[in-house]
Structure formats: structure tokens, C-alpha cells
Structure 1
């Protein structure tokens, strides 16, 4: 039998071949499991263990090719191209769109473009994640 220390629904420590009643001076929720059933980082909801869903990191930069493919797939490319063709567009934004070698997630250009498209920060993150998957 293995014993796990649970804090905030997460397994934080595991004692192998140890019953919980043999542990002294340990504060927190102790739960017993079958041998090798539990490892640190697993989630415990009070009755069942689960493995947490991995968090996908938002890339800091994607290539213009990757960005354009994802904008096309999302149905946003025509709107972006219309914005870039507008006489009201800032010249620096047009240069960035046409000549940048990479689009950086934290750049003012990307944040302004996303806002102009009505996208939330989370939606921009999702587009960057999708773009990073384009070969």
C-alpha cells in the first residue's frame, strides 16, 4: 500500500509501501492507494485519481507563413488583408505585415491587429498555438 499527501486536490508527496497510520507528524490529507497507482502531480477529487491535462504553452513567435495559414483557416485572412489595404492603416503596421520575419505574441502590432479583429487575448493565444503547429 502507498500513501499520498494531497494538497488542494493535487498529490504532493508519495510514500511507497507505507500505510497512512504509520506516518507521524505529517499534516494534511493522507490517502492510501494500491502500490504504484499514484505519483506526484496527479489530481485527486476525493474519490478518483486523474492525470492533469498538459498546458500548451503559447509560443512567443510564429513565422508569417504560419500566421497567414492559421488566419486563412480561421476565416480571418480576407479581413486582415482588407485592413492592410486600407489607406487608414499606419505605415509601420503595413510594413510589419509585409516584411516581418516573425510575428511576436507580445508585440503591439499583434495586439492591435487582434483587437481590430475583435479577438480576445485568449483567442490570439489560441491562434498562436495553432500557428506553431503549422509545418
Structure 2
């Protein structure tokens, strides 16, 4: 009888999450990200979100992410998370945008 490591078992939700993350690029270039936002008509919404930030430190991080980074990370980016929430984007919409953005050649 095989030895079963019960700590390694995963729920259907965990498996689905891992499969979803495997399909989505973890990173795209800032140019690709801005291009896909522009193609989807979302650039004005992002700019409006950034303009309304009143906390100086948060505004600095948003400016760096929007204007000065070389790449955008799909997971773990506070700016991306906050901007997506402000735009009303779902996790699946963000995933789809990263997938589409990765296909853009500039």
C-alpha cells in the first residue's frame, strides 16, 4: 500500500488557483501594461485614480509604478491591486489583461 502524505493533498480550489496562475504571466513590461490599458480604454481611469491619491508616500509609489518601472508584477503589487480595485477589475479580468499584454510586441 502506498504511503500518502496528507500534507501534500490539495483542495479543488487550490488546484484551480495553481492552474490559473500557471496560465497568467507573472510579469509584463510597463509598456505592454500601458498598451493593454490604452487598448481597453482604461488609461483615464488609472490616471484619475493616481490623481486622487493624497498620501505623499502612496502617491510616490504609484508614480514609480506608473511611470518609472520596467515591468509590472501580476501578483504582490500594492499599486496594481489598488488601481484594479479602483477600476472595478476582477481577478479574472486582470489575468486576461496580463495574458493579452504579454502578446503585445512594441
Note closer, same or farther for the CA distance 1:87–1:60 as it changes in structure 2 (3 Å cut): closer
| Separation (CA, whole Å) in 2 of partners of 1:87 and 1:113 | 11
Matched, 1:120 2:90: yes
> What is the Cα deviation at residue 86 of structure 1?
3.1
Matched, 1:86 2:56: no
Gaps of 5+ in 1: 1-54
More helix by share: 2
| Separation (CA, whole Å) in 1 of partners of 2:65 and 2:73 | 11
| Separation (CA, whole Å) in 1 of partners of 2:79 and 2:53 | 17
Query: 1:66-119 CA deviation, whole Å, 9 max, x = no partner?
Result: 001100111101111222233526221222211111000012221111111100
More strand by share: 1
Tell me which of 102, 105, 111 is aligned to 2:71.
Answer: 102
Gaps of 5+ in 2: 1-19
TM-score (norm 2): 0.68
Note closer, same or farther for the CA distance 1:109–1:87 as it changes in structure 2 (3 Å cut): closer
Structure showing greater radius of gyration is 1
> What is the Cα deviation at residue 59 of structure 1?
0.3
| Separation (CA, whole Å) in 2 of partners of 1:131 and 1:88 | 29
| Separation (CA, whole Å) in 1 of partners of 2:97 and 2:53 | 26
RCO higher in structure (CA 8 A, sep ≥6): 2
How do 1:24-39 and structure 2 match up within 5 A? Answer: none
Q: Aligned Cα RMSD in Å?
A: 1.8
